[in-house]
Amino acid sequence: MTQLQEWLNSSEILMKNAFELTLQCIEFGETRLQEDFQILGKLMECKDLDQVADCHKAFTRKASKQYMDQFNGISRHLAGMMGTKPETGPVDVTAMPD
């Protein structure tokens, strides 16, 4: 295989991985936007400040988990592209204090 062929193969693999990563990010963004809009309706249905706080806390906990899952997925994807493994494991945001 010539150096040009190797370079073209590497470029093709890089572009494929970049495209997959971009699609994952777009899908994640769509999901987050939908849930961000849904929280507004749920907050408007709350009867008192305690319900608002509980609703917001549940939303924040779920959103944080989704962001960390997405971050961990991107880290694994990038590490796989580089032929390494991520230096840290997934972060468990469900263990966060109230």
Look-up of token digits 């959103």: 63
pLDDT value at 72 more than 60: yes
Number of domains in the chain: 1
**Cα–Cα distance between 40 and 45 in angstroms, integer?**
9
Q: Which residue has the higher pLDDT, 52 or 80?
A: 52
- For residue range 3-55, what is the model confidence (pLDDT) as tens digits? 888 888 888 888 888 898 999 999 999 999 999 999 999 999 999 999 999 99
What pLDDT score does 88 carry?
Answer: 58
pLDDT at 6: 86
Q: Is it the case that residue 96 has pLDDT exceeding 90?
A: no
Q: Residue 83 region, left (φ>0) first, then alpha (ψ -120 to 50), else beta? A: left
Contacts of 73 (CB under 8 A, 6+ apart): 24
Domain that holds residue 60: 3-95
Whether the CB-CB separation of 66 and 28 falls below 8 Å is answered with yes
Q: What is the pTM of this model?
A: 0.69
